[in-house]
Amino acid sequence: MERGPIEVIVLSFPGIGRPDGVDAAVDAMREVGDIRLISAMTITRPLQGAAEVEQVAAYDDVGDVTADIVAYAAVGMPNADAVDAAVNSVTPGSTAVLFVVEHVWAVGFAAEVRAAGGKLVDSVRLTEELLDAAERVLGEDSPSRPN
């Protein structure tokens, strides 16, 4: 079965509770077909007390869900270390949402890369802060700035 890149994404939000807007945005991406949501969990940490983790399983068109759950667990997605890191990153009075997604939009590209013997060597996500800083340095007239 061809598949796109699978990624674990952890987002952090102020306040307690899963923001409705995030769920709506994920649903929109699923509907368009950009991503396949494999699993999601919400981690809340009240101002006092321990963090609470809620697994929100949402498997899209996976056929044999049991087989997929076993397969993903075998390769550690999300593994205990990823979940522990996400739990530890949540500051008191805030919420984190952990998503495991397949980038469906990249299935064909990933298949061509694999067929040519290529493999992913590294991946770096550019943060909003880094992009904002680069934009301040380059200015609005930079030839590398998208129109």
Q: Give 102-127 pLDDT, tens digit per residue.
A: 898 999 999 999 999 998 888 888 88
Domain count, the chain: 1
Terminal Cα distance for the chain, rounded: 38
Domain membership flag for residue 129: no
Domain membership flag for residue 16: yes
- Could you say which DSSP state residue 60 is in? -
Domain membership flag for residue 62: yes
Domain membership flag for residue 74: yes
| Alpha-helical segments (H) within 1-147 | 20-32, 65-74, 80-89, 107-115, 128-138
Residue 114, pLDDT score: 92
Domain membership flag for residue 25: yes
Domain membership flag for residue 135: no
Domain membership flag for residue 132: no
Domain membership flag for residue 146: no
Lowest average pLDDT, out of 13-17, 91-95, 122-126, goes to 122-126
Torsion sign (Cα): 73, 78, 82, 84: negative
The domain in which residue 79 lies consists of 6-120
